[in-house]
Amino acid sequence: MPDIVKIEYHQTGSSSNTNELGMREMQQKAYEARASQYILLKAPPASGKSRALMFIALDKIKNQGLKKVIVAVPERSIGGSFAKAALNCNFFLTE
């Protein structure tokens, strides 16, 4: 039986590259599944999981008809990091 808890990651450095929207590779993959009812993100620490959820939450508000999204993060430092994010740019612009 495979060990689903222990996972080895290939460290190529490509995970820190971003696309035109500022998303890393893992964040883009999560964003592509944004219409799913459930999304499980499993990635190494500091890989951008919380930010990926923020991209998905903003899409659900802007494009999927939701009025409120709650994103719970485990530490204040993670939540505080969103203060610097330009969430009102690109396709998240509000009219």
What pLDDT score was predicted for residue 93? 46
| Per-domain boundaries in the chain | 19-92
Alpha helices per DSSP H over 41-82: 49-63, 76-81
Q: Residue type at 23?
A: M
When mean pLDDT is compared over 12-16, 34-38, 77-81, 87-91, the highest value belongs to: 34-38
pTM for the whole structure: 0.61
Residues 6+ apart with CB under 8 A from 18: 24
Q: What is the pLDDT of residues 6-31, one digit of tens each?
A: 767 666 665 567 887 778 888 888 99
- Which pLDDT does position 89 carry in this prediction? 57
Q: Which two tokens stand for residue 10?
A: 């290939």
26-35, 59-68, 85-94: least confident range: 85-94
Token reading at 13: 């450095």
Q: How far apart are CA 90 and CA 49, in angstroms?
A: 20
Q: What is the largest CA-CA distance in the chain?
A: 52
